[in-house]
Amino acid sequence: QRIYDRLGVSFEAVTGESFYSDKLEYTIREIEQAGITERSEGALVVPADENGQPPVLLRKRDGSTLYITRDVAAALYRHRTYRFDRALYVVGSPQALHFRQLFMVLKKMGLPWYRECHHVAFGQIRFKDGAMSTRRGNIVLLEEVLDRAGALAREIIEEKNPSLPDKDRVAEAVGTGAVIFNDLKNYRIKDITFDWDELMNFNGETGVYLQYTHARMKSLLKKYAEVRGRPELRAGLRYQDDDAMYALAVLLNDFEETVVRAAEEFEPSVISRYLLDLAARFNAFYTTHRVIIDDPELSLKRALVVSAVAKVLGRGLELLGVEPVEEM
């Protein structure tokens, strides 16, 4: 829970594997009553289906049950308890067969809600010298990764902005955000190569780059407010007067559709890639468009663009679990 707290992750309910121990016999009886089981050398199995899924072993000949039995019990309990619209099993891709078998059992039991159960598979994390493995003894603890990422962020802050207030909190947010974004920036099914040199790159496809871009925008808006007050929309302003501003406005309009697509595909990287594109286009815009200028109306237009991009970028980072810091 300490690590979850650092990641900003919370749960409304936590039930371990043992929670379903007293529900297994009832679950097995329910599966048998559905008429889909048979005996094989003393073991209880659900036979293979017409699509070539292999048989599912529910109980061994010695009476012991397996993971699949507990997962069926868990699925039945969760549906009866929560009446879920969707059940997402976020588990590594090596377990794909296990979940195909689980959903096959639910389907054979005649439960129409099996269609709303989805295996959200993801790839493995690899370091440059190979994949991690508990069996080989070369595991890397997430807490150690977060500690080191925070320490690297603190070093960068000390170098670039030593007078920054609340440096420890910002370093923790930047370090943790870098680790999270590194995991979510590519398609989830792909294996990830963890590279410390890339992780904290201010110019790469990183969480640090996005947080820094967000902080730059917040700093710019603060300066604008000091000169002209808070940028507020006025009737009659037209972004079409400037191709670069209009292009950014169009891209901002895609944010809602991007979030919906990410949800429908169970694919966080859809949001990640959008945010990287948004930040890149904004930075290109910012290099050619000064915001605080003598022309008050044009200055307001550009400040409104900055404000809108900052809002969308910040919200997108929050959806990914990355804190959009105000200063870096």
Q: Which residue has the tokens 């009553």?
A: 33
Rg (the chain; Cα; Å): 26
Global pTM value = 0.90
Report whether pLDDT(121) > 70.
yes
Q: Can you tell me the distance from the alpha carbon of 204 to that of 211, in angstroms, rounded to the nearest whole number?
A: 12
Decide: helix, strand or coil at residue 58. Answer: strand
Residues 6+ apart with CB under 8 A from 277: 251
SS3 131: strand
Give how far Cα 265 sits from Cα of 100, 130, 261, 279, 307, Å. 18, 29, 6, 23, 29
Residue 322: closest CA among 284, 279, 264, 260: 279
Which pLDDT belongs to residue 240?
A: 59
Contacts of 282 (CB under 8 A, 6+ apart): 213, 217, 248, 306, 309, 313
Mean pLDDT of the chain: 91
CB-count burial class (<10 Å; 0-12, 13-18, 19+) for 274? buried
The tokens of 263 are what?
Answer: 């949800």
Residue 127 forms beta bridges with which residues? 130, 194
pLDDT of residue 135: 58
Residues 261-283, mean pLDDT to the nearest whole number = 97
Q: How many Cβ atoms are within 10 Å of 151's Cβ, its own excluded?
A: 12
Mean pLDDT value of segment 9-34:
94
pLDDT of residue 237: 56
Report the alpha-carbon distance of residue 109 to residue 201 in Å, rounded: 51
pLDDT at 244: 84
171 or 237: which carries more pLDDT confidence?
171
Angle at 286 between CA 283 and CA 289, to 5 degrees: 155
- H or E, element range at 45: strand 43-46
**Residue type present at position 303:** A
**Residue 243: CB partners within 8 Å, gap ≥ 6?**
none
Lowest mean pLDDT among 129-138, 155-164, 209-218, 303-312: 129-138
Which region holds residue 164: left if phi is over 0, alpha if psi is between -120 and 50, else beta? beta
Q: Check residue 125 and give its pLDDT.
A: 85
Q: Over pLDDT 90: what percentage of the chain?
A: 77
Mean pLDDT lowest for which of 15-19, 72-76, 198-202, 234-238? 234-238
**pLDDT of the residue at 130:** 58
* pLDDT band for position 140 (cuts 50, 70, 90): confident
